[in-house]
Structure 1
Amino acid sequence: MKLNRNYVTPFISLIFLVVGISGMLMFFHLLDGYTEVVHEIFGLFFFICAIFHILLNWKPLKIHFKKGVFLPAALALAILSVLFIVEQQYSPKVDTIILERLAKAPIADAFRALQVDSLAAVKRLRAKGISVDAGDTLGNLWTDNETNIMEVFDLITEE
């Protein structure tokens, strides 16, 4: 199959637009919970289209690579990326901290924090074969019962 600029260029442009808009929505926490999936999936498509774009434009790109601007720009981008990653490691997001503490809290405290009926939550968990003891933590529930955090959390918060 021969790659055609008439298809790749519009796709990469439109996908760039979707990834950019969803990224801005995520940055400003607008429509949280909806934009992440769109951003991730279209980000993957954007990456694939970018590969096709590079293949189609390899000769002109080689000219840019030889210019003195490319290497410093690539180096600056790499350094900024590493700095953001390191910064995130040393100051995790608030929701990550809350979830970690909630996972380590006694199950009764976790139920109160989540504002759920503890008896109903325990009944739902046991109905799915997840054993619950008074001294458990949320973290124990999914590790001891070989399940995942989302299943346990969904069962607890189910109305």
Structure 2
Amino acid sequence: MKISREWATPITIGAFSLMAVTGLLMFFHLDSGLNKFAHEWLGWVFVAGVSFHAAVNWAAFKRHFVSSKVGRAIVAAFAIALLASFVPLGGRGAAPPVLAMNAIAKAPLSAIAPLTGRPVEALVSELKNAGIDISGPDTTIASATGRSREAQGKAIAVLFGGGARD
């Protein structure tokens, strides 16, 4: 199959439009429905479209590296920005929801009970009924479930949702 501007450029334009709109929606926390899914998965269409577009326009693309100092500088700036994006920032770890779930998983049930509005004895009973082996009020979700995120999620759903969710 021959790569053609007739379809490579429209794919690039369409995929860029999708990526720009869904990216802006996600940035401003206005995304809904399939926005995030489309952004993540259809981003591959954008990569393919840009690759095809660059292949079709190779002579112009190459000129930016060979004869244009401004072109090289811009590409170099983005390459540096890409490299810098891998540098970990001090004090920034996991996302806040993950931090909260980890804190809940590591806290004894007696500390979690006031957050749920139910007595610790009721929590122990509900967790046991859900198949989570809790030995008492000082047990943590993490110690009862091990490293299983699925089991921890189930336990947290029991604690805060009033029952196990499948």
Partner of 2:43: 43
Q: Which structure shows the bigger proportion of residues in helix conformation? A: 1
Q: Does 1:97 align with 2:99?
A: yes
Q: Does 1:80 align with 2:97?
A: no
**TM-score, length-scaled by structure 1:** 0.71
CA change 1:34–1:74 in 2 (3 A) is same
Q: State the Cα distance separating 1:82 from its structure 2 match.
A: 4.0
Q: State the Cα distance separating 1:32 from its structure 2 match.
A: 5.6
CA change 1:11–1:94 in 2 (3 A) is same
Partner of 2:162: none
Aligned mates of 2:141, 2:88 — CA distance in 1: 29
Counterpart contact for 1:121–1:156, Cα < 8 Å: no
Q: Does 1:106 align with 2:108?
A: yes
Aligned mates of 1:18, 1:87 — CA distance in 2: 29
Structural RMSD (CA): 3.2
Q: State the Cα distance separating 1:152 from its structure 2 match.
A: 3.9
Partner of 1:65: 65
Partner of 1:29: 29
**TM-score, length-scaled by structure 2:** 0.69
Q: State the Cα distance separating 1:138 from its structure 2 match.
A: 3.6
Partner of 1:137: 141
Partner of 1:3: 3
Aligned residues: 151
CA change 1:36–1:51 in 2 (3 A) is same
Aligned mates of 2:88, 2:70 — CA distance in 1: 27
Q: Unmatched 5+ residue regions in structure 1? A: none
Q: Unmatched 5+ residue regions in structure 2? A: 158-164
Larger-gyration structure (1/2): 2
Partner of 2:161: none
